[in-house]
Structure 1
Amino acid sequence: MGKETDSSRHAFDKRLKQAMDRNNPNRPAEAGSQGNDMTTVGTVLRAGTEMVAGLVVGVAMGWGLDRWLGCRPVFLILFSLLGGAAGVLNVWRLVRP
């Protein structure tokens, strides 16, 4: 039973060291690692989501104002442009160094 405790403790120490190495910001970056690829995919998906969200909110607000005030689609066009600009600004903040 003592041997099992030692091996399980050794295995735990090994896993703990690996986890600490993964979370260490001072470690050298590995070229072509899976984590880097997933981070890039996540950033691209977030950028697309930011763009779509800005446009959807702008269109919804413009459409709602036009419908509520009973006027031509002036606010729809205005808020679509503002929503698109907000989406571009959010993406710029995301990818800015």
Structure 2
Amino acid sequence: MYTVIVPLIQVATTGGGAVQVTKGGAVPSDITPEALANLIDLGYVEGAESGSDEPEGPPAKSASKGDWESYARSQGATDEDLAGLNKDDLVSLYGG
């Protein structure tokens, strides 16, 4: 898993969408390999793939909407599933 270490990034996903992730948030699992390599080269993210298939659990309720969107995508949500949802909706649907 890679973590954002700059205030804000916007990344392209393999589905053709884009997601914003704030500092401390996890890089989405559906980021393109080229985009991930670019973020690493620029020094915008740190960490390494854990190799574990165990879910890490949902982010804190106070986490950003982008973090919740990333988590929802890690749970199988698509851009279409997330369209029109606000942060409270995401917490309700994916917060467990």
TM-score w.r.t. structure 2 length? 0.21
Which structure's residues are more often helix, by fraction? 1
Greater C-alpha radius of gyration: 1
Higher normalized strand content (fraction of residues):
2
Question: What TM-score do the two structures reach when normalised by structure 1?
Answer: 0.21
